[in-house]
Structure 1
Amino acid sequence: MQTEPIGEVRIQTRTSLFSGTYRMLCFQSATMAACVVSNHVVFLDLPHDRYFCLEPRKESAALAILRRAAELDTSSSEFGTTQVLRSERFLPVKVEAITASAIDSALPQPPARSVAEALFSNARALIELKFRSLSKSIERVRQGAGTHGPVKGRKNEPLPAILAAHLASHRLLSAHDRCLPLSIGLAKRLRHERHAVDLVIGVRMDPFAAHAWVQQGNVVLNDDLDHVRAFQPILVA
């Protein structure tokens, strides 16, 4: 499939095939992610750390492929034998619509030790993204998505305490334009403490922008509700 980078393609408005129930649906393959936003298909190429759109004449074919993926039951024999899915290997991923933000609730005062751990987690994520591909970084986040629940022999740190420490660390390590490493750092720390959370990357158009956050169910943990709602999820890890 030939692709063109965003910003170099003339985008035309068309009727969306993914309105209504598909609003919070994204698609993922081994190395790519995709979503439909503002009636256009946006792709995330993980190994090359870039977003792109297709030329208008190719976009309708991409929409058809993704709609076909969304409509098929992944456990059915039809899904496994559909040629277009076998070639593209995109699987639909449902994302819960955000309805609340944890930062609007009262959070505990974090101890200095916990803030220091948050700073270390965030700094490690910054370094990792600098020297590793986005694909490798996302894979490491997914590796931490194992069994949830209490760790035998010790008491897990509560989610509100971890979140408070990470938000406090933003005053020491600027959060400006660092939503991805800070969200990766938070997601890894929460999963280490056996909390079930998702790292989500979203995109918007006109102008194009990407954003990352951590959510648990329908609650965004580390961002403002209205800000996150402006982005359509493209990848969940």
Structure 2
Amino acid sequence: MENQVFAPAAPLASGPDGAVAHLSEHLHFAVVDEDVIVLDERTDAYSCLPGAGAVIQVCGDRIVAPEPVLEQLRDGGFLGPAGDSRAVAPPAPTRALPLPLSPAMDVVATTRFWWSWWREGRKFESRSLAKLLATHRRHSPSSSLSEEEVARLTAVFVRLLPWAPGQGACLYRAHLLRTLIRDAGGDVRWVFGVRTWPFSAHCWLQIGDAVLDDEPDRVAVYTPIMVV
């Protein structure tokens, strides 16, 4: 992923009692071993709360921690009112989506690819992460595509992407492929994950336990921090 900022923060103090609070709507937490990674989607910036993984539990926008820890997070602007329920991370992918071998040209899917690229791919560089996420959150279709149909679109995407003007990393690919699938009436999960020491962030698409645009072994090292 691009435009990442990763800054360690001061360790949090622990306390004896557990309490429940809610994260600010623009923040996402992931507990990775002994640490907590924070994603601010407004700025596409990551930070680390070292050692906080021992005293913090996270489920969606709910956070459970000793009251002194919550007080520190509240003072730091990490907490907010209860918001809408967030998408739950799909199961860890165990397989790559099997893509069909399609020697014949799929005219409909090819047309859809170039239309999706014209609308979204060519202006990707000028858009922030927050604007990309807003585009995908404006509507959430109930998928009318089977896994086989999603695989067919993904195969066309993989074949045509090298010919599209402008290339990008995982964020670009996932945004464009999800746009293509949604334009066709389907939907898949867009998963953002993190790892630490060394820090790295990555994102990929999933349908059930199948990863579309990556390999299960590659994404297995990342802990989901945000799902769209």
Same fold (TM over 0.5): yes
Q: Deviations over 1:90-135 (max 9, x none)?
A: 7663431111101x55443453663454255246444444223211
Contact 2:122–2:166 under 8 Å retained in 1:
no
Which residue number in structure 1 is paired with residue 172 of structure 2?
181
| Cα distance in structure 2, aligned partners of 1:204 and 1:174 | 31
Cα displacement (A) at 1:142: 2.2
Unaligned runs of at least 5 residues, structure 2: 12-21, 65-73
Contact 1:35–1:43 under 8 Å retained in 2:
yes
| Cα distance in structure 1, aligned partners of 2:187 and 2:118 | 22
Which residue number in structure 2 is paired with residue 233 of structure 1?
224
- Aligned: 1:108 with 2:107: no
SS of the aligned residue for 2:62 comes to helix
Which residue number in structure 2 is paired with residue 44 of structure 1?
39
The TM-score, its normalising length taken from structure 1, stands at 0.67
Contact 1:202–1:232 under 8 Å retained in 2:
yes
The TM-score, its normalising length taken from structure 2, stands at 0.69
Contact 1:119–1:166 under 8 Å retained in 2:
no
2:132 to 134, 137, 149: 137
| Cα distance in structure 1, aligned partners of 2:101 and 2:92 | 23
Cα displacement (A) at 1:216: 0.4
| Cα distance in structure 1, aligned partners of 2:135 and 2:10 | 34
**Cα distance, 1:208–1:177 mapped onto 2, change above 3 Å:** farther
Contact 1:100–1:218 under 8 Å retained in 2:
yes
Which residue number in structure 1 is paired with residue 213 of structure 2?
222
Specify the code of the residue in structure 1 equivalent to 2:205: V
SS of the aligned residue for 2:162 comes to coil
**Cα distance, 1:233–1:139 mapped onto 2, change above 3 Å:** same
Contact 1:149–1:194 under 8 Å retained in 2:
yes
- Aligned: 1:98 with 2:93: yes
Specify the code of the residue in structure 2 equivalent to 1:87: G
- Aligned: 1:9 with 2:8: yes
**Higher helix proportion (structure 1 or 2):** 1
- Aligned: 1:203 with 2:197: no
Q: Deviations over 1:13-67 (max 9, x none)?
A: xxxxxxxxxxxxxx9752122211233111111111111113x37x369x52637
Contact 1:125–1:182 under 8 Å retained in 2:
no
Unaligned runs of at least 5 residues, structure 1: 13-26, 72-83, 151-156
Specify the code of the residue in structure 2 equivalent to 1:159: V
Which residue number in structure 2 is paired with residue 76 of structure 1?
none
- Aligned: 1:53 with 2:41: no
Q: How many residues are paired up? A: 196
| Cα distance in structure 2, aligned partners of 1:189 and 1:236 | 18
**Cα distance, 1:223–1:233 mapped onto 2, change above 3 Å:** same
| Cα distance in structure 2, aligned partners of 1:148 and 1:105 | 19
Alpha carbon RMSD of aligned pairs, Å? 3.5
Which residue number in structure 2 is paired with residue 171 of structure 1?
162
2:30 to 19, 22, 35: 35
Cα displacement (A) at 1:172: 2.1
Specify the code of the residue in structure 1 equivalent to 2:171: L
Specify the code of the residue in structure 1 equivalent to 2:157: H
| Cα distance in structure 2, aligned partners of 1:101 and 1:174 | 27
